[in-house]
Amino acid sequence: MPEKSLLYELRDEDCQVIEEVAEKYQGGQGVLISALHEIQENVGFIPRVAQIKLAETLDISISEVYSVITFYSFFTLQPKGKYQIIVCNGTACYVKGANGILDKLKQELCINIGETTPDRLFSIEAVRCIGACGLGPVISINGEVYARVKPERIPVILADLTRREEKAG
Ligand code: FES
């Protein structure tokens, strides 16, 4: 069973995709992987509601659906955040305090590494090196590199991004 069940907001179009895929494959044999692929491609991950729906329409157990999803690494149970925050935890950044940044991010967003906030706005990942060691500690958000980041700067960065979202409406 899922180790953690964050519930992510689904857009109307996500629900529609799940309905359509379930209908398309209803009663089919050996079609679970194809159905999962279509959902992953269109929704970005396999939500819990899709697992339940596929189990119903394909007349299999939810644990069977779940074990297929977790067996194949290309399926994911969590969406990526609109803002993908990558924290470098390589040696150069680590010695300059990358852990403090990670802790602050986890605390501010109430998620762990590899997770996404329920509103699907932010996700946190940690990597070994992003090739900017001289600027450490660094984080990257959707490819934009932030240099010499201190933990106290994290709330400011997050507030900026949140404001940007609010303006975008
Ligand atoms: S160790 Fe952080 S950028 Fe290389």
Residue pLDDT, tens place only, 32-54? 999 999 999 999 899 999 999 99
Domain-wise residue ranges, the chain: 12-71, 83-168
Residue pLDDT, tens place only, 89-132? 999 999 999 999 999 999 999 999 989 998 889 999 999 999 99
CA pair distance 150, 19, nearest whole angstrom: 45
Instruction: Tell me, in angstroms, the distance from the centre of ligand 1 to residue 133's CA.
Output: 4
Beta strands per DSSP E along the chain:
83-88, 122-127, 139-141, 144-146
Model confidence band, residue 136 (pLDDT cutoffs 50, 70, 90): very high
Closest CA to 43 of 88, 3, 8: 8
Cis peptide before 79 (omega within 30 of 0): no
Give me the pLDDT at residue 1, please.
39
Task: Tell me the best of 93, 99, 102 to mutate to test the pocket of ligand 1, counting ligand atoms within 8 Å of each CB and taking the most.
Answer: 93
Q: How many residues does the chain have?
A: 169
CATH topology of domain 83-168: Glutaredoxin (3.40.30)
The reply to whether ligand 1 has any atom less than 6 angstroms from the CB of 135 is no
Atom of ligand 1 nearest to the CA of 93: 2
CA pair distance 56, 158, nearest whole angstrom: 40
The overall average pLDDT reported for the chain is 92
On the question of pLDDT at 2 being above 50, the answer is no
On the question of pLDDT at 5 being above 60, the answer is no
Mean pLDDT of 11-23: 93
Instruction: Tell me, in angstroms, the distance from the centre of ligand 1 to residue 127's CA.
Output: 9
Instruction: Tell me, in angstroms, the distance from the centre of ligand 1 to residue 151's CA.
Output: 17
CA distances from 144 to 44, 126, 138, 141 (A): 22, 15, 10, 5
Are residues 77 and 39 in contact, defined by beta-carbon separation less than 8 angstroms?
no
